[in-house]
Amino acid sequence: MNPELVKQIDATHLPVHIAIIMDGNGRWAKLRGLERTEGHVAGVESVRKVTECAARLGVKYLTLYAFSTENWNRPREEVDALLHLIVMSLRKEVPHLKENNVSLRVIGDIDRMPAHTRECLEKSIEETSVCDGTVLNLALSYSSRWEITDACRRLAREAAEGRIDWASIDDEAVASHLSTAGIPDPDLLIRTGGDERVSNFLLWQIAYSELYFTDIYWPGFGADQMLRAIIDYQGRERRFGLTSEQVSEHGQQ
Ligand code: FPP
């Protein structure tokens, strides 16, 4: 990590949760005359650098959009290559995650994954469960609309079975039925690759997140770019619907 950038970080005001839409692997590869899958392979290095950076700084949660529900519609070979890469990389990275005291968690419709992929994920989660530092939360076969629909379905069922009163369903009840239950909402959402959209990612949870977009393709994003995003975040005033004066009175949240 660049010490000049580290110096600019206010360690008392770190984002607790950073979420990242890792985009641009394909374009990064194309620019170099490589196959798209080689872009994903290079992207794994960025995952490693960014995870290590989060762990060293003490960012508690890092959520990465590694495979969306929509990604199932990509050419079969790319889907297979991507899933294989994710699982193989995780298996390889487990010792490194443990060294950095990082535990793994997964959100998404994991039942759609092949059995051996699920088993591999479960094993990595189990092996890192002793770590109590940063939580690396991988969004796999994930989309926000899937997640919100699933939460609605479960709430409706609980109400129909008389386990909850439908009139008592509030923000908290919905949040506790999302796959991110127990994790605070992201303070900062980063998207690489030049597009400025949220692509069905954590739609409920990013209601008050600061958004940071960069043109850099994901394989070009590393610790220094992450530090720059955090510095940018720390320069913003988060008002959560209040006035600037109210925020100054009560101190930044
Ligand atoms: C978007 O780039 C990226 C993805 C769909 C996959 C991201 C996955 C990884 C970087 C591997 C993750 C590995 C682990 C261990 C978590 P794109 O293919 O949409 O790029 P493009 O927009 O340039 O086509």
Q: Which of 2, 10, 25, 71 is catalytic?
A: 71
Confidence band, pLDDT 50/70/90 cuts, at residue 10: very high
The pTM score is: 0.94
Our answer on whether the CB atom of 66 is closer than 6 Å to any ligand 1 atom is yes
Dihedral over Cα of 219, 220, 224, 229: its sign: negative
Q: Which of 2, 10, 23, 195 is catalytic?
A: 23
CB 67 within 8 A of CB 108: yes
pLDDT at res. 249? 83
Is the pLDDT reported for residue 97 higher than 60? yes
Is the pLDDT reported for residue 163 higher than 90? yes
Q: Which of 23, 46, 143 to mutate to test the pocket of ligand 1 (most atoms within 8 A of CB)?
A: 23
What is the chain's alpha carbon radius of gyration, rounded to the nearest angstrom?
19
Give the relative orientation of helices 76-99 and 36-57 as an angle to the nearest 10 degrees.
20
User: To 5 degrees, how large is the angle CA 226–CA 232–CA 233?
Assistant: 90
CA-based nearest residue to 92, from 68, 58, 67, 127: 127
Dist CA 73 CA 176 (whole Å): 29
Cα 103 to middle of ligand 1, angstroms: 21
β-partners of residue 136 are: 62, 104
CA-based nearest residue to 119, from 97, 89, 87, 85: 87
1 versus 156: which is more confidently predicted? 156
- Backbone phi, then psi, for 37, in 5-degree steps? -65, -25
Our answer on whether the CB atom of 210 is closer than 6 Å to any ligand 1 atom is no
23 is catalytic: yes
In this structure, the residue with its CA closest to atom 13 of ligand 1 is: 86
Q: Which of 20, 22, 106 to mutate to test the pocket of ligand 1 (most atoms within 8 A of CB)?
A: 22
Dist CA 22 CA 49 (whole Å): 13
pLDDT at res. 240? 82
CA-based nearest residue to 208, from 148, 142, 253: 253
Cα 193 to middle of ligand 1, angstroms: 10
Residue 8 CB coordination number (10 Å) = 13
Cα 12 to middle of ligand 1, angstroms: 32
pLDDT at res. 156? 98
Assigned token pair, 54:
């989060």
71 is catalytic: yes
